[in-house]
Amino acid sequence: MLPIIEDCFFAAIAAVGFGSISNIPTRAFYGCAFLAAAGHGTRTLLMGMSCISIIWASLAGSIVIGLLSIPVSSHLKTPAESMSYPALLPMIPGMYAYRTINALLQCTEPSPDNILIHNLCTMSYNGLVCTIIILLMLIGVTIPIFFFDKYSFSATR
């Protein structure tokens, strides 16, 4: 696992890049980088130090992003979702998605039953973990915005 500082640094760069695709306001880039570093750093810390699974660590990371996005958006006068959404993207479980596709590809090959069953299990496991992580991340980042709607929807005032 990457040292925590390096992890936060690369998460921030990734969030800024994804923010540029969504054309976020210039000042929101700072908030986006900060939120991504905080969220991804939280996930890495929980997985490394507390041995929490990637599923619950991702939920915790997304909640941190969602909660922090409220004061940051009020400070930078931009909608919370313009920073929290790109900041969440570095936590996408890309390797699980890749392993799912890879196992699917291997399933299409003629192979003995035990290898086919192994590939099917690999595909199901990785696909399920990937889907659950994404669903929990969506919930984790969205709930705080609705919970503190008075603040999150008046940030641009």
Partner 1 sequence: MNEGNVFPVDFLADYAATILRCGATTVRTEKNVQRIAGACGYHAEINIYPRHVDVNVTNVGNGKNTTRSRAIPDWEINFSTITALSRLSWRCHDRHPKQEIIMRQYRRIVNARRISSSAVISLTALANASFCRLFGGDYASMAIVLVATACGFYMKGNLCSKWKLDARAAIFMAGCVSAILSCAGYVFNIGKTPDVALATSVLYLVPGIHYLNAASDLINRHYICAICRFIHAGIMTICLSTGLYAAMTIMRIGLTH
Using the rule CB under 8 A, is 22 a contact of partner 1? yes
Smallest distance, partner 1 to C-beta of residue 50, A: 19
Using the rule CB under 8 A, is 136 a contact of partner 1? no
CB atoms within 10 A of CB 99: 18
What are the respective helix, strand and coil percentages of the chain, to the nearest 5? 80, 0, 20
Using the rule CB under 8 A, is 66 a contact of partner 1? no
Using the rule CB under 8 A, is 21 a contact of partner 1? yes
CA dist 89 and 103 (Å) reads: 24
Binder to partner 1 among 28, 45, 65, 129 (CB under 8 A)? 28
End-to-end CA distance of the chain: 41
Using the rule CB under 8 A, is 45 a contact of partner 1? no
Contact (Cβ atoms closer than 8 angstroms) between residue 32 and residue 19: yes
Binder to partner 1 among 42, 58, 78, 126 (CB under 8 A)? 78
Using the rule CB under 8 A, is 98 a contact of partner 1? yes
Using the rule CB under 8 A, is 127 a contact of partner 1? no
> 6 or 50, CB closer to partner 1?
6
> 75 or 77, CB closer to partner 1?
77
> 20 or 50, CB closer to partner 1?
20
CB atoms within 10 A of CB 130: 19
Using the rule CB under 8 A, is 153 a contact of partner 1? yes
Using the rule CB under 8 A, is 55 a contact of partner 1? no
Contact (Cβ atoms closer than 8 angstroms) between residue 103 and residue 119: yes
Decide: residue 92, CB within 10 A, 0-12 exposed, 13-18 middle, 19+ buried: middle
